[in-house]
Amino acid sequence: MRVSIRTEASSTIGSGHVMRCLTLARKLRRRGAQVEFLMRPLSGNLIARVRDDGFAVVEIGRQGDDADLPPSDDAALCADAIGRGVAAAEGQGLRGAWIIVDHYGLGQEWEQRIRSAAPRILAIDDLANRSHDADVLLDQNLVADYLHRYDALVSDSCIKLLGPGYALIADRYIELRKEVVRVEKPSRSLLVYFGGADTGMTSMAVDALSRLSSAYSARVILDTANPQAGPVRDKCAGDPRLTVSGQLPDLAQAMVEADLFVGASGTTSWERLAVGLPAAVVTLARNQEPLAQELDRLGFVSWLGRSETMTLDRMVQGLRSALAFPVDPARADRMMSLVDALGTERVADIIMHQGGDVLALRPARSSDSDVILTWANDPVTRSNAFTTRQISLTEHRSWYARRLSSSDVVFLLAETPSGIPVGHVRFERQHDGSWEISYLVAPLFRGRGIARPMLDMAIRKLRLDPERGLVTGYVKPANRASVRVFEALGFQASTTQDKPEATRYELPRPA
């Protein structure tokens, strides 16, 4: 699998987009993908950081040109870069081409233009302020109405990965979560980090902490290019409670050891939640505010205000109040339940899962209804169905409810181990006692060898009941993919052919 990632960092954008894309890129690389980054050489671009991680970077645009590129120009440059790598990728036997785009300035127009070079698109967004032409939309944020705010911005066929269950968190947090022990005690250990886009809050936080009389220790993290580095180091040198660290590979261990985080309400929010670390936050940009508001409402952060209106007195008061609250183990448990640190694995499953990988089967639920209708109304699915017209929502919901409630139907949903649905299998008992099989692979997972292992698992599960013997199925002769799957599973064309438009296949129980 070849995956291109279009993202960037700068002294104004910050580092969050690139860092979360690096987390996903590492996961994809471990699962066999060839990953490259497409980035502009803006001031504070982090290109060297990406290359140090072992990823190829294709530089888009001119060095030192920080002006915004029109989406059409950006797409043309990216398509050219992807095209130059296609021959090499094909020579290595790599399949397909995905592009992941994490950029607030790029949306539907850019995605439509890039499709000829990368036919599968995953768009990462936080804002819900523009339309997308993407196969997958990822927004890990927990904000008001987060499950529905993209309904009018993406197509019905777009897979929406919404909420902190899809937070892009490094594997390191999965292991460190096991070590987290939050016991009730005064908050004494602080971690201060405002990210790569901060130009003043770190310095103000250090001034505010110096004014407090509390007994605490604070570790202040400064990115390499942070213009406050010199003054902050000088201030910390005058207060033994404050120590300064340079940029870390990640904040995981420091978060586990801290009682309170002081920083921005950005991409580190999910890492903090994953290890049960409360925070006092200042929002550095308007897009951070909905998240800060929601996490403040849940009691997981104390939102001190916006950076542009923050004063030293307000910072002092806010930090004094935050330190007054002891560590709360029950709150930490709620935070860690909200973010299980498996989001990166779930997103990687969307891109990388193959038929030879492990699948899980479970009974279909009423909550699966809408996604199954979306799969069923896909044009390719409809062309292979016996009734080719589109299915209405009302018709589907009535049909689906009857199947779920019937003792003559076994309806199974197939998922990856991380819970991404890839298809379904349905058995319906016939008058002669046989069980007729129907199945569907989710459109995004076609061509990955999912059908055969999914059906094999489902048939084995059905036959756990010794009363269930003969399995039958009908396939249109033109649907060669399904014919090959049935034959590979041992189905044989029946001597009874009772549907002129389809071939009946039978799979007797082994003797």
- Residues 447 and 375 reside in one and the same domain: yes
- Residues 158 and 180 reside in one and the same domain: no
Segment 464-481, tens digit of pLDDT: 998 888 999 999 999 999
- Residues 131 and 217 reside in one and the same domain: no
- Residues 158 and 176 reside in one and the same domain: no
- Residues 16 and 153 reside in one and the same domain: yes
The pLDDT, as a whole number, for residue 85 is 66
Decide: 244 and 231 in contact? Cβ < 8 Å. Answer: no
Residue 150 lies in a domain: yes
Count the domains in the chain.
3
CA–CA distance, 19 with 268 (Å, rounded to integer):
10
Residue 378 lies in a domain: yes
**CATH code of the domain covering residue 102:** 3.40.50.11190
Residue 344 lies in a domain: no
Residue 395 lies in a domain: yes
Residue that finishes a domain, picked among 313, 338, 363: 338
- Residues 100 and 189 reside in one and the same domain: no
Give the contacts of 329 (CB within 8 A, at least 6 positions apart). Answer: 182, 183, 184
303 pLDDT more than 50: yes
Task: Assign 96 a pLDDT band (cuts: 50, 70, 90).
Answer: low
User: Structure pTM?
Assistant: 0.86
- Residues 437 and 480 reside in one and the same domain: yes
Q: Is 65 exposed, middle or buried (0-12, 13-18, 19+ CB in 10 A)?
A: exposed
3-state secondary structure 64-115: CCCCCCCHHHHHHHHHHHHHHHHHHHHHCCCCCCEEEEECCCCCHHHHHHHC
Give SS3 for 290: helix
- DSSP lists the bridge partners of residue 243 as 219
Tokens of 160: 């929406």
Residue that finishes a domain, picked among 123, 138, 162: 162
The pLDDT, as a whole number, for residue 87 is 46
- Residues 178 and 158 reside in one and the same domain: no
**CATH code of the domain covering residue 256:** 3.40.50.2000
- Residues 471 and 365 reside in one and the same domain: yes
Tokens of 400: 């689906």
CA–CA distance, 94 with 34 (Å, rounded to integer):
8
314 pLDDT more than 60: yes
Residue that finishes a domain, picked among 304, 338, 372: 338
Residue 101 lies in a domain: yes
Residue 346 lies in a domain: no
Tokens of 4: 């291109």
- Residues 240 and 327 reside in one and the same domain: yes
CA–CA distance, 423 with 446 (Å, rounded to integer):
10
**CATH code of the domain covering residue 456:** 3.40.630.30
Segment 424-467, tens digit of pLDDT: 999 999 999 999 999 999 999 999 999 999 999 999 999 999 88
Residue 247 lies in a domain: yes
Segment 201-240, tens digit of pLDDT: 999 999 999 999 989 999 999 877 778 889 999 999 999 9
Decide: 203 and 209 in contact? Cβ < 8 Å. Answer: no
Q: Rounded to 5 degrees, what are φ and ψ at 56? A: -70, 140
Q: Rounded to 5 degrees, what are φ and ψ at 99? A: -125, 135
CA angle (461 as vertex; 455, 467 as ends), nearest 5: 115
Find the domain containing 260 and state its range. Answer: 172-338
Residue 385 lies in a domain: yes
CA–CA distance, 320 with 314 (Å, rounded to integer):
10
Decide: 491 and 473 in contact? Cβ < 8 Å. Answer: yes
Q: Residue 296 is which amino acid?
A: D
Q: Is 145 exposed, middle or buried (0-12, 13-18, 19+ CB in 10 A)?
A: exposed
- DSSP lists the bridge partners of residue 423 as 414, 441
The pLDDT, as a whole number, for residue 93 is 44
Segment 360-378, tens digit of pLDDT: 999 999 999 999 999 999 9
67 pLDDT more than 90: no
- Residues 398 and 333 reside in one and the same domain: no
- DSSP lists the bridge partners of residue 492 as 506
- Residues 199 and 277 reside in one and the same domain: yes
The pLDDT, as a whole number, for residue 94 is 45
At what angle are helices 229-237 and 201-211 packed, to 10 degrees?
Answer: 10
